[in-house]
Amino acid sequence: MFDSKSRYGAITRLLHRSMAVLILWQFLKLGDRIADGEHWVGRTLVPWHISIGALLLVLVVLRMLWALGQRHRRPPHQGPGAPLVKGGHFLLYAGMLLMPLSGLLLMLGKGYGLKVFGVQLVARSGLETGWLAALGSLHAPLAWLLLALILGHVGAALFHHLVKDDDTLRRMAG
Ligand code: HEM
Ligand code: HEM
């Protein structure tokens, strides 16, 4: 269940795997750019964007608390590349936190209200709040930055597995 020096434990793996799936789902929102979202993906999966985003906000907070508790148990990162790996993981956390937060600011700033899994948490006001909407407009550029980070992260994991042939991928996914 807990992490160890040689591998990540069940809870870390479950959080990593489920959030990876949900985050990739969130990126389907980019599909709105194709035919104004009028396609199967746009009609079935993308409408869940706000609910899944809110769920991801809860999950990332739990994951950060869990990571804090496990920080002395986790597999160590050694060698000259260690600061890069730690910095990269830090930025992935920052992205996972800022995406739902900026999404919320966008919805509230535009006065759209907030409905999560069918529950109206904030009523639609129709009133725009300039500074909230301005912060919220970072949502789309941040999404592109996070996408680039994720591609680098997955590329690094595959590089370790296929080229360096070490245990990096196995200790998280194996
Ligand atoms: C980890 C969580 C999230 C990810 C990865 C994510 C990702 C994205 C992406 C890739 C887009 C398309 C941007 C573009 O077309 O350039 C988008 C748009 C949007 N997202 Fe999110 N999102 C997340 C959470 C949320 C949340 C929680 C909300 C609202 C509460 C939200 C509201 C929106 C809205 C309203 C748009 C359309 C506005 C626009 O295109 O600028 N998102 N999101
Ligand atoms: C198929 C996609 C993915 C693969 C193959 C993958 C692979 C891995 C591997 C092998 C590690 C362990 C690295 C090490 O110990 O040095 C790891 C850790 C990590 N991954 Fe991924 N990953 C994927 C998707 C993602 C996504 C989408 C995110 C978040 C946006 C993410 C965030 C992290 C973080 C923050 C860590 C550090 C451990 C933790 O705090 O949970 N990963 N990943």
Q: Which amino acid is at 22?
A: L
Mean pLDDT of 141-169: 97
Ligand nearest, relative to CA of residue 104? 1
For ligand 1, atom 6, the nearest C-alpha belongs to 26
Decide: 143 in ligand 2 pocket, CB within 6 A.
no
Residue with tokens 């535009």: 110
Ligand nearest, relative to CA of residue 97: 1
pLDDT score for 87:
97
CA of 111 to the centre of ligand 1 (A): 16
CB of 97 closer than 6 angstroms to any ligand 2 atom? no
pLDDT in tens, 8-43: 999 999 999 999 999 999 999 999 999 999 999 999
Say whether pLDDT at 174 is over 80.
no
Percentage of the chain exceeding pLDDT 90 = 98
Q: Which two tokens stand for residue 81?
A: 């590349």
81-90: long-range pairs with CB below 8 Å, 24+: 85/156, 88/149, 88/152, 88/153, 88/156
Which residue do the tokens 């750019």 mark? 33
Q: What percent of the chain has pLDDT over 70?
A: 100
